[in-house]
């Protein structure tokens, strides 16, 4: 009777595809957490090293899939962080060729060196892509009245991608850009209604809405009152 193969504890853990570790790597790159990035990449290379041992239970395609997923994450991060230069692209495609055409054990050192180089490019760009939160607030307060103001314009100000700007904005302000801008405009509209004699059409323009009807709908959605009702109720005499 054939005996079942027994695995070490390390091999048994590694038999499971590292979806969580790959996701953590992607998240860490987005969040520019250098220590976490290194921790995840070390875990993944540790798993791949198990696959090169004699009698390893891993088929070549298992290691290849892990490597291709790592490369996909790095490539996506390069797009988000705008690091996809010509030299970076050449290194990516050279590494992709190695991963697709050779067993990991055969080209292990070269593949690992290339992936670490790509990772270093992403990490350096992360370090340079820090966006000061007070500066974002300053721009929002200055530009909220512009009908054309968008997250794309905000991202261009800091020379980062829209995707990365969206992530940083949500992480810093705990709401997305469009919700923050809408709330800011509504608060400014309330101030103008209470503190000035401007007509609704003027207030609409000063809060970034070219169409007064659109402004009225949005204001009522936010407050339950039309702008005119809001102003009247604010100045209505208090009943004894």
- If pLDDT is split at 50, 70 and 90, which confidence band does 3 have? very low
Domain ranges, ordered by start, for the chain: 16-47+56-128, 133-233
- If pLDDT is split at 50, 70 and 90, which confidence band does 49 have? confident
- If pLDDT is split at 50, 70 and 90, which confidence band does 53 have? confident
pLDDT single digits (tens) 61-119: 888 999 999 999 888 777 655 555 556 778 889 999 999 999 888 899 999 999 999 88
pLDDT single digits (tens) 163-192: 778 888 887 888 999 999 999 999 999 999
The CATH superfamily holding the domain 133-233 is Homeodomain-like (1.10.10.60)
**Three-class HEC string of the chain:** CCCCCCCCHHHHHHCCCCHHHHHHHHHHHHHCCHHHHHHHHHHHHHHHHHHCCCCCCCCHHHHHHHHHHHHHHHHHHHHHHCCCCHHHHHHHHHHHHHHHHCCCCCCHHHHHHHHHHHHHHHHHHHHHCCCCHHHHHHHHHHHCCCCCCCHHHHHHHCCCCHHHHHHHHHHHHCCCHHHHHHHHHHHHHHHHHHHCCCCHHHHHHHCCCCCHHHHHHHHHHHHCCCHHHHHHHHHCCCCC
Of 37, 45, 87, 90, give the one whose Cα is nearest residue 66.
45
pLDDT single digits (tens) 122-146: 777 665 556 777 888 899 999 999 9
Q: How many CB atoms are closer than 10 A to CB 236? A: 8
- If pLDDT is split at 50, 70 and 90, which confidence band does 52 have? confident
Distances from the Cα of 117 to the Cαs of 100, 170, 202, in angstroms? 19, 30, 55
Mean pLDDT of the chain: 83
The full length of the chain comes to 240
């Amino acid at each position: 009777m054939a005996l079942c193969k027994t695995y070490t504890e390390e091999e048994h853990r590694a038999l499971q595809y590292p979806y969580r570790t790959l996701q953590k790597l992607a998240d860490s790159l987005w969040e520019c957490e250098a220590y976490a990035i290194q921790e995840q990449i070390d875990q993944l290379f540790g798993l791949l090293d198990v696959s090169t041992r004699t009698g390893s239970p891993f088929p070549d395609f298992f290691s290849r899939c892990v490597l291709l997923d790592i490369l996909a994450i790095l490539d996506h991060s390069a797009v988000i962080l705008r690091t996809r230069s010509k030299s970076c692209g050449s290194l990516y495609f050279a590494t992709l060729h190695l991963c697709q055409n050779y067993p990991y054990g055969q080209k292990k050192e070269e593949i690992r060196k290339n992936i670490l180089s790509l990772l270093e490019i992403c990490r350096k760009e992360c370090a340079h892509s820090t966006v000061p939160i007070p500066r974002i607030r300053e721009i929002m307060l200055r530009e909220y009245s512009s009908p054309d103001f968008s997250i794309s314009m905000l991202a261009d100000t800091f020379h980062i991608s829209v995707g990365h700007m969206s992530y940083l904005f949500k992480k810093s302000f705990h709401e997305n850009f469009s919700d923050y801008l809408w709330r800011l405009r509504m608060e400014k509209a309330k101030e103008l209604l209470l503190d000035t004699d401007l007509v609704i059409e003027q207030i609409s323009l000063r809060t970034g809405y070219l169409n007064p009807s659109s402004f009225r709908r949005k204001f009522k959605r936010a407050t339950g009152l039309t702008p005119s009702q809001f102003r009247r109720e604010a100045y209505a005499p208090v009943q004894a």
